[in-house]
Every structure is written in structure tokens, then in C-alpha cells.
């Protein structure tokens, strides 16, 4: 995210203490707690009566998900794909078909894999993705297979959280190096570079900087395995802030097979602005190694990714024009000019020139408030693209990493925009030391040793946000590419790409909803893949249809005709879409003049009313209500957050807004900083429901009962403190008092709770590790794992007409469960097992 130069300098100087920014009353889950949870999960799986129950995956595969690593066997028809949060997949027919081979292990979030060069039956997998993004799941150590992925053995390092890189000695598969990043949201000492010489039976930490710096990359000299280079990376993320650089970030070098390490200082930056680093050796000239560096040093200018197009208005009004403007002067502004200013700057739709002048005349607002309408709050979406740091730069070494020289001459700052923490991979053509690929938002190639770069991702139109690449050692034109849209293949050196997108349903859903068509459609927003919909009758390979791009978020469908859809992308940019006509109207509400500007959650809540589908609710730090399909909005709450923390990530936002299905005007709201509220009179007044709940946890879901008014369920989430506990509660008195209903659950971060539509004792719970079902109101939970793997579940909905549970997973696309099998098991004459 964007950081000001002042902020960076203060942080680097220690004036802003990273440790002081972390909540003091929330402790990260311990290693002991993590291992106990893994073991309890296994026990529940072994005893579950639901593990053989049916579930249907309905895709999509035509829009895939993030692929973070590719490992290819000596026979290139066999290769392995690591999905960011969807496990490991294998093909033996050059990508015509894939099978998941890692399901059932303790975590499906993958950091890195390594395939032994001397024995292709040996495959290592490190759990816990190394990209430091919002949905980067912590792992629980490293695993090894000695039979090409058929069976797995846990090899330890359970508290490393996120694996940056694994390397296997080229001739001795018992020697393995593991780079660990450690906790993303907490400090721990189980990070750095670990080495084993006995195949993982024992480990030695051979490189360690501090409890906030891990190892993100390791590379072995192509001809001398005693020479290795490693990159350490200092980074710390919080819900409200991210620091992705520091003096701990550096290049290190070993000449004794990784036993001892020295920092490489000649020619490479050594300051507090060093960010993520990635390497690659040139196979054709082994002493040549390149480094891709995300420099967080403040730049002298910034270029915006948002540029206005079309004819420019002559002498347009600007915010500063209103600072010294009198009311009389403002009243004299031309309506057309004032209306243009209001729409261009996205004032609330109720503010027309006539309304502004009326409120100025009556004294309800003043010109200073107009001048300060947006305050100092930059659009969160603009902050993603407005670079104020140097960003990506390429260095080259000709002495195997001893000394470095910056070689990139062309401006490649747009490779990363402001989020270089999400990338970091560089690849050298195996047959040409001067051809280099750098992976970022676009895919760039240099053919002059890194001096100048151009795009090579236009033909075949591969998705953006490139994460992994393999180049055939024997044929530099044969390339496999993994990105946020799936897997791509080129036989022309990147000039053209084929999308291998029909076999792996690994989409990462943020939300899910259905309509009432016959057969009904399923809609969902996906990480970096927009908003799509597809038929519930689909097989996984059947294509879904796109509604819009961006990071797809919450979807709401007017089921009266199944044609009007409300949805959008990150940070509250939402639209009303007419599927038949294609008409699209922006509906994001603007804040009232005089109020603090809106703070939108990454996954902004939006809901249609149960009582009238012309009525829509959205939440920033305020709850908004529209009675006319989003054309106009009314603010019906004050700021419902604590609003105590600020940083470079939007925070203190509403994460949930839900309406009672029984009483119009009864609404619940929850925030990312731990507040829970209710109004019984449509926003006339709000009552805090925090009493009896853990403090400061992210409110991940609220579910008012479909059966009894006043009964409500809630899930809280401590994931953003690396606290992985099961927080699920029930209230029978509108939230005045709460009772924990986690029963026999293992400790796992909870994302969504849903009440059955026919039986109030049946509840469905989605966690970071799968689906759980209780048939006795929460005393005993059963793990629904079998045809649904232990993947993170963000959202669920019941299509009541068809009696289907529709599940949006964050890593394995969408599943449909026919609920008759569960309802039959829960009948009074059936014995409920647990």
C-alpha cells in the first residue's frame, strides 16, 4: 500500500515502533496450540459421519486462481502446480489433466515446492503462502513425499507460518534448505534459513537476523552447490498497516553449502528502504545472477494509474477554490459548473447544485466543509496504483553474488505499483543470459541484460499479477507461467500464451449468492478475478460468465426477475448491473458534507432487504440505506467503529451489515476493529453489543435467525493477529448476552456461520480449514471433509427452493451440497454422531 515519505522515514528511524502498533491484548497462537488444533482436526475427520457425504464442485475453471509455484520433472510432461490456497496439483500429460495430491494435509495454503533434481520421486512442500497479501494463509510446516506425491510425511518446522523458498541439493536429496518467513501478523523466532542433512529428521537454523525478518528466496549456483545466495526480508503486516522493508532485508551468500553466511554489501543497497528480493542464476553462464529488488525508497514523483479520458472541462472547479469562497460567491456559481464538480469528485448523489445552494443558504453547510469534503483521505483504490516509491529495479552480479551493479535503466516502477510485497520473481532464459523475465502486474522481458524492458503478455492475453515461472532447461522457448488467473504455457518464448484452465477449480471466492432462476445461477466475487456467474447445473469445466473485473467482492441479486445485480470491486466501488441490457450504474454512496470521508473495507458489505428488494444497505464506517435501488442514499448511523488506528491500509470499517428477516428496521452491524451494534428503529439509535464478546476481533459474519426473532449468531476472527481461535457465539436476546457455541471445535479462524432454513438446530460454519456442521445447536460439530477439502471458506448461502447449500471457498472454487442427506441424518429418530 502507499506510504508517505515521512511515514517511511519515521518507521525506519524507530520513531514509529512496529511492536507498539500491535494490539496488546491479543496473543498469537502458540506452536503448541497450532499442533493441538491440527491433531484435533484429524480426530474430528476420523470420527465424522459426514466425510462420505456428497458435494459437487461447479467450478469455475475458465477463471482460475493464484498459482505460486511450478515444479517440472525431468520428463516435462509431468509437473506440479502449487495454488496459493488450493493445495498442490499434478499432471502427467503435459497439462491436459490435473489431480489434487495434497488434500487432507494440515494446510492447503502453499508457500513453495521443491522437486529433487537427482530423484524426481522426492517432492517437498512448504505450507503457508509467502505473498504477504490480505488472504495469505499461515501454514504449519513442511512435508515430503518420496513417491511423487502419492503419500506425505510431515517433516517439522510447524511454527514457521510462511515458507519463502525450498531448495534441494542437486545430487544429494537428503540435503535441503528451507527459507521461512515466520508470522505475517506477529513476531516469532521460527524464521530464517533452516538446513537438514538427513532428509528432514533434524534441522539447524543457519541464517537468522531477528524475529521480524525471514528468508524469502534461496538459489543454488548451477555448477557448484557449495555456493548459495539467499534473500532476507523484513516485513510486518497488521490489519491497519503494512511495512514491507527494513534494514533486515539483504542479500546473503554462502560458500560452504549453506553452513555459514556473509552479507553481500558491494553494490547493493544497505539502507532501511530495502524490500523484497528475488534471484535467478543464468544457466548458460553460471556466475551471472540477477536480483529483482522492490525498493521502498521514496521517489521524487508519482504516476497515477487513474487518468481521466475524454474532453477536459475548461477551468473546472477544484476543492481549493472553495477555501476562501463566500456563501454569496458560491451561490453565484453556474449550476452546470457546480454539478460537474460534484459528480467528478463523487459527492453523495443527493448533492446537486440546487441542493448545495439550498444548504448553504440555510446554513446547514459552509464552503469550508465543501473544500474539505475528501479531507486527507486518498481513495484506497488510487493508493494501490499511485506509486510514491522507487519500486522494482534489477541488479546483476558476475561473480556469483559477491558484488552487484544496478542494470535496469528503463522505468519499471509500474511493474509493482505500490505492492511489491505481492511479487518478487525474476527468471533468466536457460539458454541466454541476457534474456530476463520480471514478474509483476504485467510480465516484462529484457533482451539486453536487464537494461530495457517491454511487455510480453499481450498475445493470448494472460491474466495479470504474475507469480511463478519455469523455463525449460533444454528449450528456452518452452515456458510455464503461473499468475492470479491460473496456468499459462508458451512454446515461443512468451510471444504467445495458451491458458491451461480447464482442469483446476482453484478460484478464490470472497463472496457467494444465488438467484431464483431454473436452474438457479450462482454469483461470486473472486480475488483479482472480478465477479462471475454460472449455472448450478454446471460441471467444473463449464465456463462461467463475467460481470465485471477488479477484485470481485460482495454480490446481491434482485430475485424478482433475476436480472438486476448489485456488485463491485475492492474498497466499495459498487454498481447496479442490468444483465439483459448491459447497463451499469455506479451506486457507491458518498458521505454527508461535514462527515469524515468514507472508509471502505476491502470486502465492503452490501445487502438487499429481505422485505423489499428495492432497498439496499452498504457499510463504510457508516451504514447507508437506499430505498430506490442505489440511486440515492441516506446515512442511518454514526461512525460505528473505534477509529483508533491509522496506517497505510484502510481500517476502522464496517465488515458486516445484516438485516432481520422478521422486522424491517432491525439491523446488525459489525466492524473490523471489533464493534458490534444493533438498531431496532432503522438507524434512529444504535446499541452496542460488545459486552460478553472478545475485544478487538474482526467481525467476520452475523446471522440473524430465520426461525426465531431475536436469535442471532456471530463469528469473530483473530487471523490478523496470527491468532487462530474458533470464535462463534449465539444470542437469544438480540445480542444483549452471548454464549459460546464452539463446542468440540478445533481452534481455527472462523469466517462465516449460517443457520439451516428448515431446522434451527443445524448450523453451518466455514473456517480457514473447511466446513463444519452441528445438528444440536453448537454443542457438537462434525467435520464435512471428503469431497470438500480442508480449504478456507469465506461465504455460504442456502438456495431454499432447491434445498442446496452453496459454498464459496477461497481456493477451490464453488461447491454445492444437497441438504437432504444432512436433514435425513438430523431426523429425531436418527442417532447423531460426533
Alpha-carbon distance of 698 to 279, in angstroms, equals 37
Across 582-618, b (16+ Cβ under 10 Å) vs e yields eeeeebbbbbbbebbbbbbbbbbbbbbbbeebbbbbb
Average pLDDT over the chain, rounded to an integer: 93
Question: Model's pTM, two decimal places?
Answer: 0.94
pLDDT for position 3: 38
Cis previous bond, 362, omega within 30: no
**3-class secondary-structure state, position 354:** helix
In this predicted structure, what is the pLDDT of residue 741? 98
| 818-824 CB contacts, 8 Å cutoff, 24+ apart | 818/54, 819/756, 819/758, 821/53, 821/54, 822/50, 822/53, 822/756, 822/762, 822/773, 822/775, 823/756, 823/758, 823/759, 823/762
Residue 381 has pLDDT above 70, yes or no: no
Q: Which pLDDT does position 306 carry in this prediction?
A: 33
How does residue 13 score in pLDDT terms, banded at 50, 70 and 90? very low
**Residues in CB range of 289: below 8 A, 6 or more apart:** 219, 229, 279, 280, 281, 282, 396, 397, 400, 401
Query: What letter does residue 101 receive in the DSSP assignment?
Result: -
Neighbours of 65 (CB within 10 A): 29
Can you tell me the distance from the alpha carbon of 487 to that of 284, in angstroms, rounded to the nearest whole number?
26
- Rounded to whole angstroms, the maximal C-alpha distance in the chain is 83
The pLDDT of residue 317 is: 94
Q: Which pLDDT score is estimated for 446? A: 97
Q: How confident is the model at residue 312 (pLDDT cuts 50, 70, 90)?
A: low
Give the model's pLDDT for residue 746. Answer: 98
Residue 384 pLDDT greater than 90, yes or no: no
| Structural domains of the chain in order of their starting residue, each with its CATH number | 319-382 (no CATH), 509-825 (2.130.10.10)
- Mean pLDDT within 350-354: 95
Give the CA angle between residues 770, 108, 526 to the nearest 5°. Answer: 75
Q: Does 6 score more than 60 pLDDT?
A: no
Q: Predicted confidence band at 385 (pLDDT cuts at 50, 70, 90)?
A: low
Mean pLDDT, to the nearest integer, of 504-532? 97
Average pLDDT of span 60-74: 95
pLDDT at 383: 64
| Three-state secondary structure of 532-585 | EEEECCCCCCCCCEEEECCCECCCEECCCCCCEEEEEECCCEEEEEECCCCCEE
Which tens digits make up the pLDDT trace of 601-637? Answer: 999 999 999 999 999 999 999 999 999 999 999 999 9
Higher-pLDDT residue of 380, 698? 698
State the average pLDDT over residues 142-161: 98
Q: Tell me: pLDDT of 471 over 50.
A: yes
The Cβ of residue 208 has, within 10 Å, a number of other Cβ atoms equal to 18
Q: Count the helices and strands in the chain (H runs, E runs).
A: 9, 58
* Cα 360 from Cα 248, distance rounded (Å): 54
pLDDT of 18 higher than 80: no
How confident is the model over 298-323, as a mean pLDDT? 68
DSSP, res 779:
S
Give the mean model confidence (pLDDT) for residues 713-726: 97
State residue 12's pLDDT score.
Answer: 38
pLDDT in tens, 184-197: 999 999 999 999 99
Residue 503 has pLDDT above 90, yes or no: no
Supply the pLDDT for residue 11.
39
Contacts of 418 (CB under 8 A, 6+ apart): 1, 2, 3, 383, 384, 385, 386, 387, 388, 389, 391
For residue 387, the model assigns a pLDDT of 60
Contacts of 564 (CB under 8 A, 6+ apart): 557, 558, 576, 577, 578, 579, 629
Q: How many of the other CB atoms lie within 10 Å of CB of 171?
A: 11
Q: Is the pLDDT of residue 305 over 50?
A: no
Q: What is the pLDDT of residue 705?
A: 98
Render pLDDT for 270-291 as a digit per residue (tens, 0 to 9). 999 999 999 999 999 999 999 9
Q: Give the dihedral sign, CA 717/718/723/728.
A: negative
Give the whole-angstrom CA distance, residue 267 versus residue 140.
37
- Provide the pLDDT for residue 379: 65
> At 360, which helix (H) or strand (E)?
helix 353-362
Q: Report the residue count for the chain.
A: 834
Q: Is the pLDDT of residue 821 over 70?
A: yes
634-657: pLDDT as tens digits: 999 999 999 998 899 999 999 999
Position 428 pLDDT exceeds 60: yes
The pLDDT of residue 302 is above 90: no
Helices 353-362 and 335-344: angle between axes, nearest 10 degrees: 100
Q: Could you count the other beta carbons within 10 Å of the beta carbon of residue 569?
A: 21
Amino acid at each position: 500500500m502507499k506510504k508517505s515519505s515521512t511515514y517511511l522515514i519515521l518507521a525506519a528511524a524507530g520513531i514509529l515502533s512496529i511492536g507498539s502498533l500491535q494490539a496488546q491484548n491479543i496473543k498469537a497462537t502458540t506452536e503448541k496450540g497450532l499442533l493441538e488444533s491440527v491433531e484435533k482436526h484429524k480426530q474430528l475427520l476420523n470420527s465424522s459421519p459426514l466425510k462420505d457425504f456428497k458435494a459437487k464442485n461447479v467450478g469455475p475453471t475458465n477463471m482460475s486462481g493464484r498459482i505460486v509455484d511450478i515444479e517440472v520433472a525431468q520428463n516435462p510432461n509431468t509437473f506440479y502446480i502449487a495454488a496459493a490456497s488450493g493445495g498442490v496439483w499434478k499432471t502427467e500429460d503435459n497439462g491436459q489433466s490435473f489431480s489434487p495430491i495434497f488434500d487432507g494435509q494440515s494446510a492447503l495454503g502453499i508457500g513453495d515446492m521443491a522437486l529433487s533434481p537427482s530423484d524426481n520421486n522426492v517432492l517437498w512442500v512448504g505450507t503457508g503462502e509467502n505473498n504477504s497479501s490480505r488472504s495469505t494463509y499461515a501454514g504449519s510446516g513442511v512435508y515430503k513425499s518420496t513417491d511423487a506425491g502419492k503419500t506425505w510425511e510431515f517433516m517439522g518446522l510447524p511454527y514457521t507460518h510462511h515458507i519463502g523458498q525450498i531448495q534441494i541439493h542437486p545430487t544429494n536429496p537428503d540435503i535441503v534448505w528451507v527459507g521461512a518467513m515466520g508470522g505475517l501478523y506477529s513476531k516469532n523466532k521460527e524464521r530464517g534459513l533452516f538446513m537438514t542433512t538427513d532428509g528432514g529428521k533434524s534441522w539447524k537454523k543457519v541464517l537468522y537476523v531477528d524475529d521480524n525478518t525471514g528468508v524469502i528466496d534461496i538459489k543454488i549456483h548451477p555448477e557448484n552447490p557449495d555456493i548459495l545466495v539467499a534473500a532476507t526480508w523484513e516485513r510486518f503486516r497488521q490489519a491497519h498497516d503494512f511495512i514491507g522493508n527494513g534494514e533486515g532485508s539483504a542479500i546473503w551468500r554462502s560458500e560452504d553449502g549453506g553452513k555459514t553466511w556473509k552479507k553481500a554489501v558491494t553494490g547493493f543497497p544497505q539502507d532501511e528502504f530495502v524490500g523484497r528480493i528475488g534471484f535467478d542464476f543464468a544457466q548458460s553462464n553460471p556466475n551471472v545472477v540477477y536480483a529483482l529488488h522492490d525498493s521502498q525508497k521514496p521517489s521524487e514523483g508519482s504516476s497515477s494509474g487513474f487518468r481521466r479520458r475524454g474532453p477536459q472541462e475548461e477551468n473546472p472547479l477544484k476543492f481549493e477554490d472553495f477555501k476562501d469562497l463566500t456563501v454569496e460567491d458560491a451561490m453565484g456559481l453556474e449550476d452546470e459548473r457546480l454539478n460537474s464538480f460534484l459528480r467528478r469528485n463523487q459527492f453523495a448523489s443527493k448533492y446537486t447544485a440546487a441542493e448545495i445552494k439550498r444548504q448553504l443558504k440555510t446554513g446547514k453547510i459552509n464552503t469550508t466543509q465543501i473544500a474539505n469534503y475528501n479531507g486527507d483521505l486518498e481513495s484506497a483504490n488510487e493508493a494501490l496504483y499511485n506509486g510514491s516509491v522507487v519500486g522494482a529495479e534489477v541488479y546483476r552480479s558476475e561473480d556469483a553474488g559477491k558484488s552487484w551493479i544496478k542494470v535496469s535503466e528503463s522505468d519499471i516502477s509500474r511493474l509493482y505499483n505500490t505492492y511489491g510485497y505481492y511479487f518478487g520473481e525474476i527468471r533468466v532464459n536457460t539458454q541466454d543470459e541476457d534474456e530476463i523475465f520480471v514478474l509483476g502486474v504485467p510480465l516484462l522481458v529484457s533482451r539486453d541484460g536487464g537494461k530495457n524492458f517491454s511487455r510480453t503478455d499481450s498475445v493470448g492475453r494472460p491474466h495479470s499479477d504474475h507469480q511463478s515461472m519455469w523455463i525449460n532447461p533444454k528449450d528456452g522457448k518452452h515456458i510455464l507461467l503461473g499468475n492470479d488467473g491460473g496456468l499459462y504455457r508458451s512454446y515461443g518464448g512468451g510471444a504467445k500464451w495458451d491458458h491451461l484452465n480447464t482442469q483446476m477449480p482453484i478460484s478464490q471466492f470472497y463472496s457467494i449468492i444465488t438467484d431464483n432462476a431454473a436452474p438457479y445461477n450462482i454469483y461470486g466475487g473472486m480475488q483479482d478475478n472480478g465477479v462471475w456467474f454460472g449455472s448450478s447445473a454446471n460441471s467444473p469445466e463449464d465456463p462461467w460468465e463475467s460481470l465485471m473485473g477488479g477484485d470481485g467482492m460482495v454480490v446481491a441479486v434482485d430475485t424478482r426477475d433475476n436480472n438486476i445485480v448489485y456488485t463491485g470491486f475492492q474498497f466499495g466501488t459498487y454498481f447496479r448491473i442490468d444483465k439483459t441490457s448491459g447497463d451499469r450504474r455506479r451506486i457507491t454512496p458518498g458521505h454527508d458534507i461535514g462527515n469524515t470521508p468514507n472508509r471502505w473495507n476491502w470486502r465492503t458489505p452490501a445487502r438487499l432487504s429481505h422485505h423489499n428488494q428495492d432497498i439496499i444497505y452498504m457499510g463504510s464506517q457508516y451504514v447507508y440505506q437506499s430505498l430506490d435501488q442505489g440511486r440515492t442514499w441516506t446515512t442511518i448511523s454514526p461512525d460505528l467503529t473505534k477509529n483508533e488506528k491509522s496506517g497505510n491500509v484502510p481500517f476502522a470499517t464496517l465488515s458486516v451489515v445484516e438485516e432481520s428477516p422478521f422486522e424491517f428496521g432491525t439491523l446488525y452491524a459489525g466492524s473490523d476493529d471489533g464493534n458490534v451494534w444493533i438498531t431496532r428503529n432503522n438507524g434512529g439509535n444504535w446499541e452496542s453489543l460488545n459486552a460478553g464478546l472478545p475485544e478487538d476481533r474482526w467481525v467476520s459474519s452475523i446471522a440473524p435467525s430465520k426461525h426465531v426473532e431475536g436469535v442471532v449468531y456471530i463469528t469473530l476472527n483473530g487471523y490478523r493477529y496470527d491468532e487462530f481461535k474458533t470464535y462463534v457465539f449465539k444470542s437469544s436476546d438480540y445480542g444483549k448476552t452471548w454464549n459460546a457455541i464452539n463446542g468440540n471445535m478445533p481452534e481455527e479462524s472462523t469466517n462465516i456461520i449460517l443457520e439451516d432454513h428448515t431446522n434451527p438446530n443445524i448450523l453451518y460454519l466455514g473456517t480457514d480449514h473447511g466446513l463444519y456442521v452441528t445438528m444440536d445447536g453448537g454443542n457438537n460439530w462434525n467435520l464435512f471433509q471428503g469431497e470438500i477439502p480442508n480449504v478456507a471458506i469465506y461465504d455460504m448461502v442456502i438456495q431454499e427452493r432447491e434445498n442446496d447449500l452453496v459454498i464459496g471457498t477461497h481456493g477451490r472454487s464453488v461447491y454445492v451440497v444437497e441438504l437432504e442427506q444432512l436433514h435425513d441424518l438430523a431426523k429425531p429418530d436418527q442417532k447423531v454422531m460426533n
